[in-house]
């Protein structure tokens, strides 16, 4: 599809994404000029690769999204529909509170890159499938729709953010507590039966 990049161009692409990843990790807002300076490249080069800050952010988020989708697809193989959903959601919130690039990309009403839009849809349909299976098993309250999954995960991530834990580990902990509570409310059948 896309023409493969020349070797030097590919190297620059990698460098830009690496720098962006570092900035995201330290909580610095992504500014393309800034990224250019830190990667030792010209602004123009960065703009050639990433037309907007959003495009760059989405690129940074891509591996995380792919991992979540991959997990979701594996989860579909789990015979226990409820457990599969539970694990999928757990992974999702863990990722959100651990990788700062995911929350904004997931919550955005639209994506800058087609690739990201595709991933987002994938994630959504995987979630839908998992939810349907859990629901078919009679394990989930009927009022929850697939369109609620992403918002709810973003909501938990945001709640964790507001809670204000300093370390990633603490954030993961809080996320687990919140998700557990929510799942408790989602499920119809008793935990172990």
Partner DNA sequence: CATGAATGAGCCTTCATTCAT
Partner DNA sequence: AATGAATGAAGGCTCATTCAT
Binding site for a second copy (CB under 8 A): 107, 109, 141, 143-144, 147-148, 150-152, 154-164, 177-178, 180-186
Q: In which residue are the tokens 């959504």 written?
A: 124
Q: Which stretch binds DNA (CB under 7 A): 39-47, 97-105, 112-120, 131-139?
A: 39-47
Cα–Cα distances (Å) from 25 to 6, 21, 48, 56, 101, in that order, read 28, 6, 23, 14, 8
* Minimum gap (Å) between residue 27 Cβ and DNA: 14
User: Contact with DNA (CB under 7 A): which of 2, 25, 27, 41?
Assistant: 41
The residue among 8 and 184 lying less far from DNA, judged by its C-beta, is: 8
Decide: is 128 part of the binding site for DNA (CB under 7 A). Answer: no
187: three-class secondary structure by DSSP: strand
The residue among 53 and 104 lying less far from a second copy, judged by its C-beta, is: 104
The residue among 16 and 68 lying less far from DNA, judged by its C-beta, is: 16
Decide: is 33 part of the binding site for DNA (CB under 7 A). Answer: yes
Say how far apart CA 73 and CA 6 lie, in whole Å. 33
Say how far apart CA 113 and CA 59 lie, in whole Å. 8
Cross-strand pairs, 187: 140
* Minimum gap (Å) between residue 86 Cβ and DNA: 39
> 39, 47, 33, 40: which is closest to 18 by C-alpha?
39
Distance from chain centroid for Cα 57: 12
Q: Tell me if 58 sits within 8 A of 113, measured CB to CB.
A: yes
Question: Can you give the binding site for DNA, defined by CB under 7 A?
Answer: 3, 5-9, 11-13, 31-34, 36, 40-45, 47-49, 52-53
């Amino acid at each position: 599809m896309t023409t493969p990049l020349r070797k030097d161009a590919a190297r620059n692409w990698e460098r830009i994404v690496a720098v962006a990843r570092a900035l995201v990790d330290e909580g610095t807002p992504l500014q393309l000029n800034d990224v250019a300076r830190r990667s030792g490249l010209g602004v123009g080069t960065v703009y050639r690769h990433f037309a907007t800050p959003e495009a760059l952010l989405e690129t940074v988020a891509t591996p995380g999204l792919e991992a979540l989708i991959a997990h979701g697809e594996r989860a579909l193989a789990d015979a226990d529909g409820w457990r599969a959903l539970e694990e999928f959601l757990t992974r999702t919130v863990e990722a959100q509170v651990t990788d700062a690039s995911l929350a904004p990309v997931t919550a955005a009403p639209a994506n800058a890159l087609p690739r990201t839009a595709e991933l987002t849809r994938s994630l959504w349909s995987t979630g839908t499938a998992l939810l349907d299976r859990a629901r078919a098993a009679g394990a989930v309250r009927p009022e929850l729709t697939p369109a609620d999954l992403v918002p709810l995960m973003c909501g938990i991530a945001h709640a964790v953010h507001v809670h204000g834990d300093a370390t990633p580990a603490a954030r993961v902990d809080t996320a687990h507590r919140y998700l557990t509570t929510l799942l408790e409310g989602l499920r119809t059948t008793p935990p172990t039966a």
